[in-house]
A and B are shown apart, each in its own frame.
Chain A
Amino acid sequence: MSDDLNKLKRDYRSIEAPAHLATRIKAQLGDRAHRQRSWIPAVATVAVAVAVVAVTPNLIDRQDAQSATASTPSLSLLSRVARVKPSTRAPNLSNLRSVKTPPLPAKPKLNPPKPRSFFDIKTDVQKETDYA
């Protein structure tokens, strides 16, 4: 390598970053850590959970109070009663296959139709006159 290149290399290697660079980086990192908002979703989740827990007992109490004060059966109660199924067991339809049934008689075979010539064909008028 030539002397010029070596000298240039030495000059290049002597370049130093300013002393305040590291301080600036540290300050920036501190700022970023300070401004981090990663706790917001967690806090929001907790707040929603607390709200749900606080509201749910009130709803249940109100439902109980409504059902206790009702003098006439409500429609919702009626629908619940109507939905009660009978306790008797329904026959299992799949068992029907196991019942043996007598085989059906063989289907009677019809005589083969006679070959018809053109002259056998009767018109409707001829059929009526024959019938008469």
Chain B
Amino acid sequence: MSVDDISDVELVKRFKSGDKSAFDAIVTRFQDRVYRLACVWLYDEQQAVDVAQEVFLRSFKGLAGFRFRSAPFTWLYRMTRNVCSEFNRRRRGEALDSEPRDAGRNPEQQIADFQAARRVRQLVSVLPARQREVVLLRIFEDLSVRETATAMGCREGTVKALLHKATRRLQLDLERASDRKGATQ
């Protein structure tokens, strides 16, 4: 049985029982999702790598106390949100760079990621904070309603209501944007 076939919970259990290689698998499995979230939450994409690194370093310590009350990704999501808030507080007032500067990556891919993250951020930035969170988790990260509720610390009904309001608002915004695009062409 390869590491890819093991469930998230089983991976964490292995890590807790002392299997250090399980942590490498956890990083490989979740790094993209944590990085994506950090790209959207942060106002500076360059720091997304730092945030992802910090999240995994903290989780290395914190997973020892993980009690399986929620899914591992939900737990990681909360940590990502907290670390992003810390980074944003620290960066407030500093000048933001407009271009990515990660020299070790393919520049085209890097720019595409940068633009996708920026578009998602622009899209959800019109929403109130809770609706933004619901959209990110439920629509973009494909979490279930229950997982989203656990991650946000609210009831499933609240998630459904917030999602309903958010999608209506997003639909309207997207329609307006496409109308404007059609009018200019």
Closest approach, in angstroms, between the C-beta of A5 and any C-beta of chain B?
Answer: 6
Q: Which residues of chain A come closer than 8 Å to B150, judged between CB atoms? A: none
Whether A128 is near chain B, meaning CB under 8 Å from some CB there, is no
Interfacial chain A residues near B32, Cβ < 8 Å: 15-17
Q: Encode A13-45 as 1/0 by CB contact (under 8 A) with B.
A: 111111111101110110010000000000000
User: Which A residues lie within 8 Å of B56 (CB)?
Assistant: 25
User: Is A2 an interface position by the 8 A CB rule?
Assistant: yes
Nearest CB on A from B76, distance (A): 13
Tally the A-B contacts, defined by beta carbons under 8 Å: 84
**SS of B interface (majority):** helix
What residues on A are CB-neighbors of B23 within 8 Å?
Answer: 29
Residues A11 and B53 in contact, CB atoms below 8 Å apart: no
Query: What chain B residues lie within 8 Å of A1 (beta carbons)?
Result: 139, 167
Given contacts A22-B28, A25-B53, contact A5 B174 (CB under 8 A): yes
Given contacts A8-B119, A12-B116, contact A21 B49 (CB under 8 A): yes
> Contacts A12-B36, A12-B116, A32-B57 given; 15 further ones with Cβ under 8 A?
A5-B170, A8-B123, A11-B112, A15-B32, A15-B39, A16-B109, A17-B36, A17-B49, A18-B49, A20-B104, A21-B53, A22-B28, A25-B56, A25-B57, A28-B57
30 of the cross-chain contacts (CB-CB < 8 Å) are A1-B167, A2-B171, A4-B174, A4-B178, A5-B139, A8-B120, A9-B140, A11-B116, A11-B119, A12-B36, A12-B40, A12-B116, A15-B39, A16-B109, A17-B31, A17-B32, A17-B52, A18-B35, A19-B104, A20-B104, A21-B27, A21-B49, A21-B52, A21-B53, A22-B27, A22-B31, A24-B49, A25-B27, A28-B53, A32-B57
The interface of chain B, by Cβ under 8 A from chain A, is: 23-24, 27-28, 31-32, 34-36, 39-40, 49, 52-53, 56-57, 60, 102, 104-105, 109, 112-113, 115-117, 119-120, 123, 139-140, 167, 170-171, 174-175, 177-178
